[in-house]
Amino acid sequence: MKRSIALIFMLLISIAIFSKTIHITSNLVKPKEKEIFYEGGVVVKIEEDNLKLSTDNMVVRKVKGSWREMEATGTVVVELEYGVATSTYLQYDITDGAGKMAKDVEVAFVDEKSSDTVYISCDEMSFNLKEEKFEGTSEGTVVINKGSMEMYAKEFEYDRKEGVVTLRGDVFIKDPEKDFKMWAEEAKVFTEKDEAIALKVKMVIEVKD
């Protein structure tokens, strides 16, 4: 009992040092010296990051003397002030506000520059919440939808603050409203006006009567 109380006390001290308030609820908690296990109905709220995490299972680990690394598995749902991301795996650094999601990653974020919703499907995605930057890959194809524009590639980078989507590898973009299809090695899409620049391009423009 004394050991459990000491662990909880250390966790609170660590949170105070990094000026973050973290609320965690769970059906079952198993505190250990360098790890705390949460099982069933896990909900985490980090006010300073405007983040809410819901998951089945989670481990919080001590790194260099501080409780800072979260690892979640099962059905993972991350809610931010501008959208939602889901997966079956999450690793998150509480101090840096950065992490990785993997396995069936689905994203729906409201774009900063256009107020459209950007939908992303990929296998893995790394992110930095402080900078609002996201990048990911797929063994098959990354799929991104925004308005009438559909984007496909092997990997992507999305800078939400700047409103720029960078696509690399087997890039294909089509926009039925603008009547074009484009294949490229690399492309950048500027989300404010859905304008694009690309390298090594093949393009088809449909001319209507």
| pLDDT recorded at residue 20 | 74
What span, in angstroms and rounded, lies between the C-alpha atoms of 196 and 99?
28
pLDDT of 180 above 90: no
C-beta separation of 123 from 106 below 8 A:
no
Name which of 36, 23, 99 is nearest 62 in CA terms. 36
C-beta separation of 79 from 111 below 8 A:
no
C-beta separation of 97 from 49 below 8 A:
yes
Domains of the chain in start order, with CATH, are 1-96 (2.60.450.10), 97-209 (2.60.450.10)
Residues above pLDDT 90, as percent of the chain:
72
Q: What is the pLDDT of residues 22-39, one digit of tens each?
A: 899 999 999 998 999 999
What span, in angstroms and rounded, lies between the C-alpha atoms of 156 and 135?
5
Q: What is the pLDDT of residues 113-150, one digit of tens each?
A: 998 999 999 999 999 999 999 999 999 999 999 999 99
More confident residue, 8 or 197: 197
What single string gives the DSSP state of each residue in 26-52? -SEEEE-SSEEEEEEEEEEEEGGGTEE
Indicate the SS3 state at residue 96.
coil
| pLDDT recorded at residue 59 | 96
| pLDDT recorded at residue 178 | 85
Q: pLDDT tier at 93 (50, 70, 90 boundaries)?
A: very high
pLDDT of 14 above 70: no
**How many other CB atoms sit within 10 Å of the CB of residue 43?**
15
What span, in angstroms and rounded, lies between the C-alpha atoms of 167 and 156?
5
What span, in angstroms and rounded, lies between the C-alpha atoms of 101 and 112?
22
Average pLDDT along the chain: 89
Burial class of 21 by CB neighbour count within 10 A (0 to 12, 13 to 18, 19+):
exposed
pLDDT of 206 above 80: no
Q: pLDDT tier at 201 (50, 70, 90 boundaries)?
A: confident
